[in-house]
Amino acid sequence: MDITGPVVLISDLHLTAEEPSGLERFEAFTRRLQGVRQLYILGDLFEYWIGDDSAEPLGLTGVCTALKRLHDSGTEITLMTGNRDFLLGQDFCKNTGCHLLPEPAEEDISGYRILLQHGDKLCTDDINHQQHRATVDDPLWRESFLNKSFSQRHSLAQAGRSLSESGKRYQSADIMDVNQAAVEKALLNSRCSLLIHGHTHRPGIHTITLENRTAWRIVLGDWTAGPSYMCVAPEQLDLHFEGRVLSLLQSKEDHTLRLHHDA
Ligand SMILES: [Mn+2]
């Protein structure tokens, strides 16, 4: 799989020392990114993160080193947090050379204005998840959590993870996907006709007809089957996942985008 664009977006790597092959895969991928102008990470880089003192005790210093090396080689790294690693903060960014990007964000990328989100906040049918997210987004909750000792935070996170794993088994496939009305609202509230998000682990490109325009929703894949990433170049957006490529190609005549499947 080729890295073709000056800007690359990834999400949902769910890196953890419990799966060393994932860490190796990420480090190898960052080496392939040398020369890329900008890397966006749209959340859930880590399976969990419980404060910026986590890297060493969680066995994740290699990831930080790989990011720092990439940054030092000239690639700008822009990081949005996800629902697993929402506690990534300024110390992590300082150590790795990343910029933190608040969610949602509208960014100018290779001539396109693109709405970026992790994606879980678009899954509005998942009421339990939205309640949990509202709790952990509260600055008072965060302050009190981060003031606990590392081992207390670790126990709480482990308990939360096992709850979330068992909870998922009882939810229907539909509930875990984005809500169409939430997607339309997010696009209408923005000046964008492109939305890129992750979280659902359902990579694909979907067209959306809004009141006044056609828009596209691009979903980044997770990394279970290998790196999934999006390259954004001035006339072409390529989504790589599971050994496939889906592309949006810009027409030379009217600058509209059309979907192209690989052979
Ligand atoms: Mn997520």
Residue 250 in any domain: the answer is yes
CA distances from 81 to 23, 44, 78, 262 (A): 18, 6, 10, 31
How many Å lie between the centroid of ligand 1 and the Cα of residue 162?
A: 15
Q: Please report the pLDDT score of residue 14 as a whole number.
A: 96
How many Å lie between the centroid of ligand 1 and the Cα of residue 1?
A: 24
Question: How many CB atoms are located within 10 Å of the residue 71 CB?
Answer: 17
> Which range of residues forms the domain containing residue 25?
7-261
Q: Which residues surround ligand 1, an ion (CB under 5 A)?
A: 44, 82-83, 199
- Give dist(CA 123, CA 132) in Å, integer: 13
How many Å lie between the centroid of ligand 1 and the Cα of residue 22?
A: 17
Task: Output Rg (C-alpha) for the chain, integer angstroms.
Answer: 18
How many Å lie between the centroid of ligand 1 and the Cα of residue 255?
A: 32
Which residue carries 């709405």 as its tokens? Answer: 115
Q: 183 near 216, Cβ under 8 Å?
A: no
Q: Return the DSSP state at 194.
A: E
How many Å lie between the centroid of ligand 1 and the Cα of residue 252?
A: 36
DSSP assignment of 53-105 equals: T-TTTTT-HHHHHHHHHHHHTT-EEEEE--SSSTT--HHHHHHHTEEE--SSE
Which residue carries 């984005």 as its tokens? Answer: 178
| Mean pLDDT split into 10-residue runs, the chain, 263 residues | 87 97 97 95 97 98 98 97 97 98 97 97 94 95 97 93 64 78 97 96 96 94 95 95 95 92 71
Which residue carries 């509208």 as its tokens? Answer: 106
Please report, for the domain that includes residue 54, its CATH number: 3.60.21.10
Residue 2 in any domain: the answer is no
Domain total of the chain: 1
Residue 138 in any domain: the answer is yes
Residue 202 in any domain: the answer is yes
How many Å lie between the centroid of ligand 1 and the Cα of residue 263?
A: 30
Which residue carries 């020392």 as its tokens? Answer: 17
Q: Please report the pLDDT score of residue 172 as a whole number.
A: 62
Residue 219 in any domain: the answer is yes
